[in-house]
Chains A and B, each alone.
Chain A
Amino acid sequence: MPDGPPSPVADAGGADAPASGSAGVLTGAGVSPGVGAGPVVRVAGSVPEPAAATHGGTPEDVRAEQAAATAALEAVAADLEARGDRAAAAGNTEAREVLRAQAMMALDPGLADGIAVRIGEGTTAARAVFEAFAVYREMLAGAGEYLAARVTDLDDVRDRAVARLLGLPVPGVPRRDDPFVLVARDLAPADTAVLDPAQVVAFVTEEGGPTSHTAILARTMGVPAVVACPGAADLAEGTPVLVDGAAGTVRIDPAEAEIEAALSTSAVRASLTAASTGPGATKDGHAVPLLANIGGPKDVRAALEAGAEGVGLYRTEFLFLDRATPPSDAEQEAAYRTVLEAFPQGKVVVRALDAGADKPLAFLPPPGQEPNPALGERGLRMLMRHPEVLSAQLGALARAAAGLTVRLEVMAPMVTDVAEARAFAAACAEAGIDHPGIMIEVPAAALRAGDLAPEVEFFSVGTNDLTQYACAADRQIGALARLQDAWQPAVLDLVALTAEAAADTERGCGVCGEAAADPMLACVLVGLGVTSLSMSAPSLPLVRAVLARHTLAECRRAAVAARSARSADEARAAARSELPALADLGL
C-alpha cells in the first residue's frame, strides 16, 4: 500500500482525544464497543420531488421518456426482488414478503397506464412517475390503518424509481459483496431491515446521540459504532477507515499495522471476555445480577446466550406498536408467558406500556397538541389517563406468571412523585402483581427517592431519560451529545441519591439505561450503590469481565472519584485511575 503524504497521526490509545477534524481522525461518541476496518459505504439521502417539467414533445421524446420510465421501474422491481431473496436466505422471510409486494407495486399495470398518459401529455418521465404514484398514495393513505402503513412502502418504490431517472443515488443501504463500514447522516429503522451483520463491520453517523436508534441497533447487532461524529457525512465512498467503537474514533486511511494492532487488542478483549462466565459479581464476590434489556420473546435467546440472569427491562411497547387497537388479553398473556418461562430461576422486570413522546400509539393519541412531547403525557401519565389499558396489561402479566417459579416485577415508566408511585402500586395490587416498582427517569423522582421508596419495592434508573431531563438535552440531537452523557457529574449525583434512598429502605436499585453497558461506568454505578445492571445482551460479557476484575472497594473509590470531578471527561479520567484492570481488557 503506497504511503500518502506525511500527516500527523494521532497516537492510537493516546489519552488526549484529538479534536474533531484533526488530520486523519474524526471523533464522535463511541456507543458500541469493538473495532472494525473497511471501506466506507454511504447511505444515500432523500430523493427530491422532481420539478414539474415537460419534455420536447415529439413522438421520439415520448418514446424515449416512456422507455426510461419503464426501464427504471423494471430495474427497481428486480433490485427489490433480489433484496427479498437475500433477506429470505438470511432467514428473514417477513422482509421478503414486504420487498416482493414492493416489486409488484413497481410493475403495477395501473401505475404504468398513469405514467404513459402523463408522458403522452408532455410530462417528463421523472415527474410522470412521481404524479402517477401520488394518485395511489392518496388512495392508500385515505384507507384503513394497514394501508396507511403501506404508504411508506409505496414512497420507497417511488423514490427508488425517481432516483434512477434523475441519476441520483438510490436511497438506502447499497449492496456490497465485501465487508464495509456503513456511514450515514443517521440511520432510519427502514434502512436497516436487510442489513447483514456479517457484512457491516461498523457504523458511523454524523448525527444521533448515544441513545439513538443507530446506537441501540449497533449494540443489539454487536457491531462497533461511533455516532454524533462531525465530518462523517463528508467521508468519500470507498475511503478506508478504522472505527473504534469504544474510543469513539474514526481513523481515515489507517496503516496496515495500525489495523492489525487494533484488531489484536480487540481479539484479546474478546478472549478474556469469553473466559468470564457465571453470575455477575465483583472480584471479591459482591453479587451484581446482570440482566438483559429485551423487546419481546424474540430477544430471549440472545439474552440467554449472553448469560443474562434474567430480564431487567422488558419493553412491552413492541406488542402495541403499529396497530389501531390494543393487543387482546390472550395475545399479551402469551407473549409475556414466553419470556417469563425462559428464566425459571431468575427475575423478569416488565415495564408497563411506555407510550407517548417518541413512541406514539394509534389507540392512545395524546389529548392535544404537545409542543414538547418529551415533557408531555407519556409513560405512566398516559396510563393514568387510560386506566383500562394499564389494568388489562397488569392482569395479563399476573395470569402469565401464574404457576411459574420466575420472580415477576413490574415497573412504571416516567414517575414523578409520590402520588403517581402510590397509584401504580395500587393498580398492581389490584391486578395481583406482587412486586411493583418505578423507573427513576425524572430528576424530581431521583431527588426525592426517599419519599418514593416506601410506596414500591424497587427502583430502576433509566439513565437515558434521566440524563436527557437532568441536562435538558434531547436524546435525538447529535449536537448535544456532550450533554447526553451519563458521566455528567450531575447525573451521577442523581443516581447516587436514588441508590442511597433504596439502600436506606432495603429496596433494590437497578440501572437499565444504556449507561449500564459502558463497562467503566458499570463499575462506577456499582460503587454508587446500584444493585443490578441491565443492558443489551451483547454488552453483558464485557461488563461481566470488567466487574469480575475489580473489588467493590475499587468500584466505590471510582465512584467517589467520578463524583468529585467537575466534568464528564474528568469523571471518566478520575474513575479510570481507580480501576486498574481496565487496561488488561484494552479499555
Chain B
Amino acid sequence: MAQRHVKIRSKVGLHARPAALFVQAAARAPMDVTVAKLGGNPVNAKSILAVLGMDARHGEEIVITAEGESADQVLDELEAAVNVEAGDA
C-alpha cells in the first residue's frame, strides 16, 4: 500500500480546478484510491462530491492512499493535480 502526505499549496484549496483535476486523475487509476484530511476519515478519491465535501483548504495536509503496481505513479499525478495552481500563489 502506498501512501502520501501532501500539503495543499493552492490558494483555492482542494476545490475548483485542482479538485476537478484530482478526481479526474483518480478516476483514471486502475485501483481504488482514497483521500483523507490528516486524522480524518478516508473518502473515495474518484468522487468529486466526496472530495469537495472534505473541504480541504489551503495550508492543510491530506493523505492519499493507493494500492498496486503503479501506485507511486498514480500518487505522483494526484500530488501534481492538488497543487496545479500553487505556482501562482
**Which residues of A approach B to under 8 Å, CB–CB?**
97, 100-101, 104-105, 108-111, 136, 139-140, 143-144, 146-147, 150, 154
Contact = CB atoms under 8 A, between A and B. Distances in A.
B81 to A, nearest CB: 13
Contacts of B48: 101, 104-105, 108
Given A97-B20, A104-B24, A109 B55 contact: no
Nearest to B19: A101
Contacts of A109: 44, 46-47
Contacts of A105: 48-49
Contacts of B49: 105, 108, 110-111, 136, 139-140, 154
Nearest to B43: A110
B53 A104 contact: no
B86 interface: no
Closest 10 CB pairs of A and B: A110-B47, A104-B48, A139-B53, A143-B55, A136-B49, A108-B49, A108-B47, A110-B50, A101-B20, A109-B47
B interface: dominant SS: helix
Contacts of B20: 97, 100-101, 104
A150 B20 CA distance: 13
A97 B50 CA distance: 18
A97 B48 CA distance: 13
B16 interface: yes
Interface in B1-56: 12-13, 15-17, 19-20, 23-24, 43-44, 46-50, 52-53, 55
A104 B23 contact: yes
A139 B53 CA distance: 6
Interface of B: 12-13, 15-17, 19-20, 23-24, 43-44, 46-50, 52-53, 55, 57
A140 B46 contact: no
28 contacts: A101-B16, A101-B19, A104-B20, A104-B23, A104-B24, A105-B48, A105-B49, A108-B49, A108-B50, A109-B44, A109-B46, A109-B47, A110-B44, A110-B47, A110-B49, A110-B50, A111-B49, A136-B49, A136-B53, A139-B49, A139-B53, A140-B49, A140-B53, A143-B53, A144-B55, A144-B57, A146-B13, A146-B15
Contacts of A97: 16-17, 20
Contacts of A110: 43-44, 47, 49-50
Contact of A140 (B44, B52, B57): B52
Which of A105, A108, A144 has the most C-beta atoms of chain B within 10 angstroms of its own C-beta? A108
A124 B89 CA distance: 47
Nearest to B23: A104
Contacts of B57: 144
B50 A147 contact: no
A144 B15 CA distance: 11
